[in-house]
Structures are given as structure tokens and as C-alpha cells.
Structure 1
Amino acid sequence: MVISLEDFRAFYRSKFPYERIRPQQVKMMEKIFHSIKNRRNLIVEAPTGVGKTLSYLLPTIYFAERGKRTIILTETIDQQERILEELNALRPNLKISFIMGKNNFICKAKGSKADGLFCKLNRRCLHRPNRRKRCICGTEKEPVRIGEDIKYFCPFCICDYQKSKIECLEGDILVMNNSIFYHLKEEIDANRETEIIICDEAHKLEKSIRNSATIEINPEVALRRLRAMAYHFAPALVKKYLERLRGKYSNLDGDSLKSYERDFWSIVHNYLSRRVDIEGCKDTILYYGEMILETPEGKAVILGTLLDGYYQIRDIRDRILSFEENKELEREELRFKVDNEALMYLEYYYVSQKKLPDMSLTDFLDRVKNLEIIDDNFVIYRSGQSLLCVPVLVSSYLKRLYGDATVIHCSATIGNLKIHGLKTGVESFDPLVLDSPFPKDRRRIIALKDGVNMKYGGDWTIKRERANENIFKLLRSAEANTLVLFRSFEDLQSAYNYLLDRASELKRKIFCYHPDMDGREANLLKERFEKEGGVLLATGRFAEGVDIPGEALTMVIIDSLPFPVPTPILNREQRLVKERLLRKGVDPRTAHWQSFLMTSFHIMASTVIQMIGRLIRTEKDYGVVVIQDRRFYQWVGEEMRRRGYLKDDYVSMSLRSALEYIPRFLSRFRNY
């Protein structure tokens, strides 16, 4: 088939679903066309309103119809579903596949949410492809090629997750999230090589892959499952004592949980002490399997195995808690091992009976084993009750996953394209930065000259009181629906209490995001604010992806610049960058500054442009962004402009001037 710019132009003009194509869309579509044709990677920053999804879908369809298989990555299921809707609306004659994580499916074998470890242990599962040509339901199975292997599946009995994987094997366009890409890309490419990878919301890619590769070891999760299993398998006499014990504890947290746990396993130990050899119980289960579980002696053998597991996992917990928090550990300090394979077998048996959605004990044991194979790229440290093993650089993982494909990253707010490319494995690329299609005179970014310097350190209470007062004055003056964004929940809570005390003067509803809110609750909070108006207090994490158009949001206040708290992983990354620069002959002082800019500053600046981007979502939107932290006026704003993070101009003014200016500016556009 012909592949030329003239042919592509005729294609997208005939397929474009709207009357008018924006100049930015033409530029983006044609740049993507040239990148794919010439096998050049591309990083695109396309501000909100450009129509970037449609701008990469049309080139995707064009090349897919010419045999080039494409993977489209994004972060959320909502965004994946929107991409699918737009793809289907364009009606391409192609195989389009969509795959989600396994826990979004129902496991037909156990009748509850699917779990990867359960599937792995359930080797005789009848609901996935195997070598049998006839299903137990009597249906003649259909063949499927998986690499060099031929297997067979029943179209009626196959589980939905396996069905999605089969569809992906031969799909022309595959839509998935970043985590699935990390875990399944090589499996999905068993039959066809992916030639194009398009990553939407690319600013989230590094964090997603890092989270996917992180090993978190939390013994409390495993110990909680052990107690649940012990109660389930315990004979009636032991259950009676355990129930009586539970009645003595109204709350299970802190010291009370430790006491309860100790008394719980003492009851189990006392019951077993004259009945079985606790050390030998695990071997008995592995040798006899289900035969012993169904006998009268089976319950004691099970409890003995669980008690042995408790002793070993308790020791791991105590070892982890002995480490200092947020201090990098050496791998030699992590000689953890649980010598009890029967625990996995017992949990599989337990989960099958109870139809539970996860295998948290087996997952813990699996993670402990993975400690043996981590390399020097990982930073290991204690955080709370958990041990975290976090990869510092994810670029090597992504390079391996990209293979020889042409890679295209798109986002509304990438910031510094060069640093983004280095961190996400796209070191050689063509850049494309598009202008916003919306009038720039409808938004103002204001840097307060006399805001509070919110740098860590100093007297936090005094800083916080002054910042709260500034926020209150801005809110009272503007009388606008406002989103106030904070660096931490501690800052947020302080401001919330201050505003509640002065609510009668503010005369606006106050909505507050809480750390224990899940996604559904956070979305309901956003909808209430959008409907009723007022002031919404939140952290930057909540704000990412929030879409509140029109009069529902006309002011955003950034309380403090979100520089990350130093952690072992951040310190290691800065050290690696600095060492690399020193090897290139950069002087130590400059190397230190550059390493800061590429790590802490990059995280902060990328978050700030996300915060600013909450305001103008449609061409009719208008509003003001006020940055209260004085560091933005002093040096950060100019550095962000110089390094390509901030594309818009900003104005600096005193708080008094801002209190006069903001109402006048908003009144120019306000619909009364």
C-alpha cells in the first residue's frame, strides 16, 4: 500500500469526525506520520484542548491498516475506555483489543476476583488454553497459536482475562495501561511484533513503571492472613477460645494488636503442644496433601504448619522494624527466608473454599524470594511497617520493552522534554511543543512577592499561620470557586481548621479532601464542589486529572511548591546523576546543582504545571492561578521558564495588589 504524506492527508481529512481541524492537530498528526515513516521517536507536549487523542489515533489507524501493529498506553481505565470509544467511532476495519489487569476480572475457578498467584498455582484450571481439544462441556475447542506452541480453548468456558490475552495476540491496535505493558508486553508479542508504541499521559509513565517494579514487603499483611486461616481451620474447641479472646479487645491497633497476636498464637500453641510435632507438620502436608487435610488429625497438622509460618514471619517483621526508617540498607542485611512451602498450598486451599479475591500470604512469600534477585539498581529501605525495594532508574526496563518499535510520548504537561526522555528510555527523539488553542488573555499566573517561603525548616507554625492568612484574604477578595492545593495533609489540615474558624467571614462552602478517601469518594467530592461551588482544599495528588470547567473553577491557589521530601531513592538518584556528570568533567558545584535540577526540581516543576493546568480546560474557561510560596517569585518561576517547564508568562505582585487585581480580572469574564 502507498505510504505518502499526500495519501495520509487525504486519509485524515476523510476520517476526521468534526468540521474543523485545528492547526495544532494538523501539525501533530503530520509529525507523527513522519516519525513513524522514518522510524524516529517523538515526544509531544500538547496542551489541554488541542485534541491530542484524535491526533494520534488517526495516524495509528492509518499505519495499522498498512500492517503496523500499535500499542496505546495510558494510566487509567477511564482513559482507556475513552480511547476505545473514539477508536470505535472512527470505525476502522481492524482488530482492536483492550486488556486490563487480572484483578478487574472474575475468576471462573473460584467465583471471585481473579488473582495472578491463584491462577499460577491452579495448574489444572479448565478455563484457560491447554492441549485438550475437547472441553468438559462437550464443545470442540478452537486452536490458538502462542509463539511456536498450539493450544486450544473453549469459547464458552474460557475466562475473560485469558480471552483478552488471546485477542491481544493477533490484535492490530492494543489499548492497555502502563502496568500491563510492563508485565505482559513480551507475552503479547509472542505472535506479532509491535512496531509502534504510543504513550498517552506520558508524564505518568516513569512513576507507573517504578511502582510496577517495586517490591513491598509488609509482614503484617501476611500475619493477618495467617490468623484468618488459623481461625478457619481450627477445631470447635480452639475457635471457642479464640472468639472469647477477640471479645476482650475492642480495638486492634498498636500495642493491643501485639498483645492480641501473642495471646492468639499462645492458644494455638497450647492446643498443639501435646498433639503434633510442630516442626514436622509442614512436611506432612507436602507429603500427603489433601489426604491429610480431610482427616481428624488434619486440623492439628494445618495449625502446626501455620504456627511455624507465624514464628518465621514474625521474626522477619521484628527484623524490619529494627531498621531505621528512610535509611538505605545494604542487601547483606536482608537475609530473609521462610522455610515452609506448605503455606502456599494451604492458602490456595483456603482461598478456594472462601472464594477470596487475593492470596496475600503467598504474595508475601513470593516477594521475600524476589529479594534474592534484585540488582544494584534497587534502593532498599524501611517505610513504616514495610520494607521497600524500589528501582532508581526505569529507563533500562522501558528500553527493553520498547524493543525496535517507534515510540511516541504525548502529554498535556511534560515540562522538560529532554529530562523526560532520559528518564523514560527515549534518549533520541524529535520534540514537538504545541501552543494552546485557547486565548492566553483569559488566564493569569500571579507570583506573590510577599508570600511565605514554605521551604522545609524554620518555625513551621509561624509560616503556616501566615500562609493561612494569605489564603483567607485571597479567598475573601476573589469570591470565586477556588481549588487550594497543598504539599502535605498536615498543611491542608492546618488551613482547613483556620478557614473553619473564619467561615462566617468567608461565606463560602468549604470542601476538604482526606487522605483515606478512595477514588470513588474523591470523585464524589469533586462533583459536589462542581455543583455547589465554594472552596476545595486538596493535595497535588488529588488535583492531577481533575477536570472542572467553566464557572465551577476560576481560581487555583498553590500554597507551597511541592519539592519532594528527600528519600533514599531520591538521594540515590541524585548521587548517580552527580557521579555521571563528574565523570564527564563537570566541576563538583555545577554537578551538584545539575543533579538537583534533574531530580527534585524536575519532580516539583512537573507537579506545578499539572496544578496550573487544572484551570483552563475549555475555550470559555478563565481564571487566576496564585502561587503563594515566595520561592516561585524569588527564583523558581524564572528557572521553570528557562528550562522549558513553564510556557506561559507570569506576573509578580504584592498580596495587597493581588487582592485588588484579582476581582477586577475575574469580573471581565464572569457570567452574572
Structure 2
Amino acid sequence: MSQLLDTVAAAFSPSGVLSAAEPAFRPREGQTQMALAVAQAIEDSAVLVVQAGTGVGKTYAYLVPALYSGQRVLVSTATKALQDQLFARDLPRLVHGLGLPLRMARLKGRSAYLCVERLERVRQGRTAPQDPQVLRQVAEVERWARITSTGDMAEMVALDERSAVVPLVTSTKDNCLGSDCPHWQGCHVNQARQQALEADVVVINHHLLFADLDVRDSGVAQLLPSAGVVVVDEAHQLNDTGVQFAGEALSSQQLIGYARDALRITQEHARGMADWLVLCATLEQAVRELRLQAGQVPAGGRLPWQAVTPQGLDATLWRAALVRLGQSLRALLKSLALMEAMAADLRRLYERGSELLVRLARFAAAAEEDSVRWLEVGRQHLRMLESPLSIARIMQERLLQRSGDEIQAGLTQTRMHKEYAHRANVLPEPDLRKSCQETDSAQRNTDEQKSWIFTSATLGNDAQLSWFTEPCGLRGARVLTVDSPFDYPNHAALYVPQAFAAAGSAQHSQQTAQLVLDAAQRIGGRTLVLTTTLRALQAISESLRTALGLFADLDVLVQGEAPKLALVERFTAAGAARSQRGAILVASATFWEGVDLPGDVLQLVVIDKLPFPPPDDPLVEARSRRLESVGRAAFHDYMLPEAAMALKQGAGRLIRSETDRGVLVVCDPRLLNKSYGVELIAALPPMRMLGSAQEFEAALKQLTQPLEQAG
């Protein structure tokens, strides 16, 4: 038994350091089991995938062994919310409690930090916005800029991250001046990167993880190689993030932005040396012509692009528009090439345009094998995208940098799991000894590979967590599933109303809104409605507001009408006191996960229909075709697991603590009527089933009673 495993086991014991440091800490079997699995993976330089149910306490389960390991630790999250929570709350508390003198740092992407140079340009009127609202927000940023030490835009809580101000006062790889910037020494991005390189524990996000891998824009190429332990939290989003990053994209906004920057910079440094106005205007016109060739905005805003031309477009006209765009960009670059040495701004402008031209040439040719391409069409703009179907190859060859055999090296899972069970006091010592004797011949991985820990509450339903491990190239990884300690059968119920119209129809949205209205009025709000489409979100929210009027006891909050954080705060405040006006929150997309509303604040979650991936999505189509080409069933092997994991994520909003109570309603009779419903229900926590409307009403009534009476 290693010293690290002994130290970790002691830390999670009833008399351990965690109990002494945190009065609220209580030893949990699943948390200890996960912590020991992580410790063993660190000892073996292995890859471990852990599905930890809600309430297991996975954050401490991976942080304690990682911090005790003595190695440099890199933690990657999918959301800024968890990244901030880890850095500002969990890590400081734990480092202090464990008594470890560790330096910590948080690193975000470039666009998360204030760029002093770009703010100064706005102040001087070189990029001045005309909108009075934007000007007021710029003034707020200026006041904050005088006092901030980090430049992290998240400090401005009142500023919506979608605000038009953000791109004005932050930089991108394209417009950063680099070492030529007069504010280079005090640059907030550089300072954050330097702190990360000097820290013992660094918290980043998945985008930066892939950026560091590819050394595209992270500026911290030595960060990943120098880490001994890499933890990927919220790992269920890793494949989608990696696919986005590994792909290529070119938008009309990028090209028009380049043309306008080119006109401004050439007027400053090369006025009169070429007809810059004509060159830049010709480029803008070519971009607009390409958008016109894309036609009307299609349903879903996407056009599949399997061949050289996007589906449904005239091949000759599309090709001609692409050629004109390439010629206009090339003409501008030809003039820039003659004078790029005159100024650093001109040199960067030339390099930026050359990169755009290379990207355009890629989209003028056929798509690469094992990739999918599509065209996103908006009212005024378009975006060309190409992505790999999964990140399996990237993970194996460039991130993990090991073969499948190396991933499997080390102790067998049988031995490991029984050893963890013994240390968690759930398996007698003789049984452990007998089991270990059978596997003592297994060789430990003695190379200097770093250990990788991937964890989330939602990674798959089968023993190997294939929904996650297959697309991420982790088939041979060690796998552990730790169930939630919550008492779901007694604290949560599932109701599937049967007398509903077909999912997705207008009538279905109206029926969903009526059910929400009736139920929310019974429990005083406390209701979260999760929709699978923006159309359903709009229909349900409008129906609720029409029925309630202006002076009802319930307020309807709708995603998109305010920043996510502001909506969550208003919903929480409404649910904190039953005497006040209650609230119904209608949301989609990002609200399906990462929303933590414990206690009585949230007691009813309503999902409008089963969250199958849209079959006309180009990426979904391509993945389905790939599976069918090798004899697999796209629905069963791809569509169904995707729906199961999404459904599990949405249901996870309901019960967030040991005392929470609530009801999950899925307004889609297919969950009970179709044979595949059994698999979807199996993915959900073990809630009790409500078989009728009367049982549903009784469950709602029970939620209005104090916990001791309800029990």
C-alpha cells in the first residue's frame, strides 16, 4: 500500500484532516472510494474515468489526492462558473485545511481579460461606438479598469458577457499587438499566464486545454507538459469542445472585420500608397455576394456540405462567389506585401489576411476524410465550418501521447475496485487479500506519463461508460462509477403525462404550458421548464405570460431576456420566501446543466420532450452515416445514448442536496410508450414513478408541507 493511498484514506476518515478543518464534513463511502481510485491512478500514471453521481463530492475526491501527490496539478473545467468556484472557494479552503503551501492560479482565454490598449482606443475615439447604451457601459469599464488587479471581465457582474462592449475592450489573436503594444508589460493576459506558469495548481477550461495542446493562442506551451496530474472535470463536454477547437471556421464577420481593420491601419501607416478604399470595399462587397448566394436562412440555420458545394445551392454561382472573394482578398494582400516592413501593424495585418486566405482555400476544396462540413446561414452573415467527427485521434496521439496498451497498463480494475472498497470499509480484509493474490502479477506503468482523471456526473450507462470513452479515445481507461448517496425513491418522483399531443407540435407546447401553470400555482412557483428548442421556449413562455397577466402571483423568467446569472439570482430570491411572488424559469440550452438550485428554491423540473439530437444537424448526420457504414445502428448506438445523457443532465437540476425534494415531469409519452423508454428511464436517478394525474397532484401537495410532515 502506497503512502499516497494511506494519506488520502486518512484524510477522508471520521477523524481525518478534512473533519478537523471543516465542521460540516461527513465521511461518504462513495467519495472515499473515488478519492482512493484517483490516488491509485496518480501512483500508476494511469488514465481514470469516474462517473460520480450528484452529491458524491467529486471535487474534494479528486483534489485531495492530487494536492497530496506533490506533483503539479492542472484542473480543466467546461464552464467559467465551476472554474471560478474552484479557484475562489474550493481550492483555497482545501489548501488551507490540508496545510499545504501551494501556489494557485486561474487562467482563462484571452477574451476574458481587459485589454488596456483597446480600451484606450475606444477612449480616444479610434473605435468609438455610437450606441448610447454601449457608451455608458464603456464608462463603467473605464471606472473598473482603474481598480482591477486582474483585468478579469467576470469581476463586472452587472455586465452581460454578450454585451457589445466586451469585444471592444478585449483582444483576440488577430488584433493583439503583441510585444509592440505600449501596455505589454502590464498586460492582464500576460500577467495571468505568468502566474499560471509559476503556480503549483492551475485551473483552466477545456478550450485552453486544447489550445495549449495545439499552441495556437494559449501562450503557455509548457503548461500541459509540466503537469504531473491533469483533472478534467465536467468531462461530458470534452468531446464537443474538442471537436469545435480542432475544426476550422471562417465567417463573413471575420472577413468584413478584416477589411475594415485593413482600411483603418493602412490609412494610418500607408496612406496614398495604394487605393486602399477600393481594395477594402471590393473585399466587403465580395463577402456580401457570397452571403447572397447562400439564399434564405434554412430551418435550423444550417446547410449540410458533403461535397464542394453546400446542399441546395447552385454549384456554379457558389463557386464563382468564392473565387471572387479569394481574388479580392489576394489583391489586398498583394499590395500589403510591398510595404509590410514599414510598420508592425502592417506586418500583422498581412499575416492575418494570409491566414484567412489559407482558410478560404480550404473551404474551396473538398472536405477532409473523417470530418464533417456545414454552412451556418444568418440573416446578414454566414459561417463556414469543418470539424472532425470525434476527438479520439487527437486525444490518443497528441494529448495523452500513449497507445491503447499503455492506457491499460497497471493494476487490473478488479484488484483496484476491491482495494478501494476495503479502504472505504465496505469489504473485509481477507476478501481483499484473496482478490489481490489473483492479480499481483499485473505490471504497474513505470514510465513518466502523467496521470489523467476524467470525471462528471454524466458519462454513460454501460459498465465502460462508452458514451464518453469511445469518442474521446479512452476505451482502455480505468473506469469507476460511484452512485449518488441521495435518497431518490423517497425524495423525488417522475411523472409522464399521457394525454399529450405529438412532441414538438404547437398544441404540445400549449399543453406543456398549461401543466406548468397549474403545477406552479400549487407550489408557489419554484419551477424550472427546460425546452429542447428555442421555438418551444418562446411558445411556452408566451402562453404562460398570457395566462397569468401582469398582476399574477407568479413571475415568468425567460432565458435570453437577461444574463444567466441574473435570471438564476431572481429565481433564487423568488423561491427563498414563500410569502413573496413566486417564479417560473423557462430556459433551454445552457440551463440543462451547470445550474445549482438546492433546497426548496426549486421543486419542479418540467422537460418539454425527449432531448434527441436534431437529425438534420450536419454533425449528427455525419456521425450517423459513419456508424451505419460499419454496420451499427445510428439510433441505438448514437441518438439514444445522446438523449439519455441529456435527459440525465436536465433531471440533475432537481435534487442537489440530501434534503431536497421534487418532481420531474417529462411531457413526452414516448418515454413510456416506446420500447427505448426503458433505457432512457434507466439513465435517470432511481425516482419513484407517478402513475396518474391524481398521484402527481398529491406529490405537489406534499412538496408544500415541511419535510418532517412530508416524510
TM over 0.5: yes
After superposition, where does 1:181-192 map in structure 2 within 5 Å? Answer: 181-185=209-213, 187=215, 188=220, 190=222, 192=225
Q: 1:4 to 1:468 in 2, by over 3 A?
A: closer
Q: 1:508 to 1:446 in 2, by over 3 A?
A: farther
CA contact (8 A) 1:320 1:386 kept: no
Q: In the alignment, what sits opposite 2:696?
A: 658
CA contact (8 A) 1:69 1:193 kept: yes
After superposition, where does 1:161-240 map in structure 2 within 5 Å? Answer: 161-169=189-197, 171-185=199-213, 187=215, 188=220, 190=222, 192-220=225-253, 222-223=255-256, 226=259
SS in 1 for 2:594: coil
Deviates more, 1:71-80 or 1:476-485: 476-485
Q: 1:670 to 1:161 in 2, by over 3 A?
A: same
Q: 1:486 to 1:381 in 2, by over 3 A?
A: same
SS in 1 for 2:386: strand
Which consecutive unaligned segments of at least 5 residues does structure 1 have? 129-156, 234-284, 354-358, 583-590
How far residue 526 of structure 1 moved from its aligned partner, in angstroms, is 3.8
Q: In the alignment, what sits opposite 2:154?
A: none
Matched, 1:69 2:72: yes
CA contact (8 A) 2:544 2:556 kept: no
How far residue 420 of structure 1 moved from its aligned partner, in angstroms, is 0.9
Q: Give CA deviations for 1:401-453 in whole Å, capped at 9, x if unaligned.
A: 23343221111233332211112222122222223233334433323251425
Matched, 1:328 2:385: no
How far residue 220 of structure 1 moved from its aligned partner, in angstroms, is 4.4
Q: In the alignment, what sits opposite 2:125?
A: none
Cα RMSD (Å) = 3.9
How far residue 348 of structure 1 moved from its aligned partner, in angstroms, is 13
How far residue 366 of structure 1 moved from its aligned partner, in angstroms, is 6.7
TM-score (norm 1): 0.73
Report the AA paired with residue 686 of structure 2. Answer: D
Distance in 2, matches of 1:402 and 1:205, equals 14
Matched, 1:482 2:479: no
How far residue 537 of structure 1 moved from its aligned partner, in angstroms, is 1.7
Matched, 1:378 2:426: no
CA contact (8 A) 2:230 2:453 kept: yes
Q: 1:58 to 1:312 in 2, by over 3 A?
A: same
Q: Give CA deviations for 1:88-147 in whole Å, capped at 9, x if unaligned.
A: 33142334332110112234555542321233x64645766xxxxxxxxxxxxxxxxxxx
CA contact (8 A) 2:307 2:366 kept: no
Q: In the alignment, what sits opposite 2:658?
A: 619
Matched, 1:534 2:583: yes
SS in 2 for 1:380: strand
Q: Which has the larger radius of gyration?
A: 1
Q: In the alignment, what sits opposite 2:628?
A: 578
Q: 1:450 to 1:314 in 2, by over 3 A?
A: closer
SS in 2 for 1:190: coil
Task: Give the one of 607, 612, 630 matched to 1:558.
Answer: 607
After superposition, where does 1:397-476 map in structure 2 within 5 Å? Answer: 397-399=394-396, 400-403=398-401, 404-416=449-461, 417-452=465-500, 454-455=502-503, 460-476=505-521
How far residue 481 of structure 1 moved from its aligned partner, in angstroms, is 1.8
SS in 2 for 1:116: coil
Q: 1:70 to 1:290 in 2, by over 3 A?
A: same
CA contact (8 A) 1:214 1:389 kept: yes
Report the AA paired with residue 33 of structure 2. Answer: K
How far residue 387 of structure 1 moved from its aligned partner, in angstroms, is 2.4
Q: In the alignment, what sits opposite 1:396?
A: 393
Q: 1:302 to 1:485 in 2, by over 3 A?
A: same
Distance in 2, matches of 1:41 and 1:514, equals 38
Distance in 1, matches of 2:705 and 2:510, equals 30
Q: In the alignment, what sits opposite 2:404?
A: none
Matched, 1:83 2:91: no
Q: In the alignment, what sits opposite 1:118?
A: 175
Report the AA paired with residue 652 of structure 2. Answer: G
Q: 1:633 to 1:603 in 2, by over 3 A?
A: same
Q: In the alignment, what sits opposite 1:544?
A: 593
Report the AA paired with residue 533 of structure 1. Answer: G
Distance in 1, matches of 2:340 and 2:522, equals 60
CA contact (8 A) 2:51 2:482 kept: yes
SS in 1 for 2:175: helix
Report the AA paired with residue 426 of structure 1. Answer: L
How far residue 601 of structure 1 moved from its aligned partner, in angstroms, is 1.9
Q: 1:467 to 1:506 in 2, by over 3 A?
A: farther
Distance in 2, matches of 1:75 and 1:555, equals 26
Q: 1:522 to 1:373 in 2, by over 3 A?
A: farther
Deviates more, 1:645-654 or 1:545-554: 645-654
Q: In the alignment, what sits opposite 1:30?
A: 36
Q: 1:418 to 1:182 in 2, by over 3 A?
A: same
Which consecutive unaligned segments of at least 5 residues does structure 2 have? 121-168, 310-314, 402-448
Distance in 2, matches of 1:291 and 1:360, equals 17
Q: 1:665 to 1:529 in 2, by over 3 A?
A: closer
CA contact (8 A) 1:347 1:361 kept: no
Matched, 1:609 2:609: no
Q: Give CA deviations for 1:160-217 in whole Å, capped at 9, x if unaligned.
A: 3234334444543321100001011365453844332211111122222223234333
Q: 1:39 to 1:343 in 2, by over 3 A?
A: farther
Q: 1:98 to 1:472 in 2, by over 3 A?
A: closer
Task: Give the one of 586, 595, 619 matched to 1:569.
Answer: 619
Report the AA paired with residue 270 of structure 2. Answer: I
CA contact (8 A) 1:217 1:386 kept: yes
CA contact (8 A) 1:309 1:343 kept: no
Q: In the alignment, what sits opposite 2:270?
A: 292
How far residue 56 of structure 1 moved from its aligned partner, in angstroms, is 0.8
CA contact (8 A) 1:451 1:470 kept: no
SS in 1 for 2:480: strand
Report the AA paired with residue 165 of structure 1. Answer: R
Q: In the alignment, what sits opposite 1:133?
A: none
CA contact (8 A) 2:671 2:680 kept: no
Q: In the alignment, what sits opposite 2:144?
A: none
Q: 1:197 to 1:454 in 2, by over 3 A?
A: farther
Task: Give the one of 97, 101, 111 matched to 1:103.
Answer: 111
Report the AA paired with residue 379 of structure 1. Answer: V
Report the AA paired with residue 527 of structure 2. Answer: T
TM-score (norm 2): 0.70
CA contact (8 A) 1:442 1:623 kept: no
How far residue 25 of structure 1 moved from its aligned partner, in angstroms, is 1.8
Identity %, equivalent residues: 21
After superposition, where does 1:501-520 map in structure 2 within 5 Å? Answer: 501-503=546-548, 507-515=552-560, 517-520=562-565
SS in 1 for 2:659: coil
Distance in 1, matches of 2:221 and 2:254, equals 35
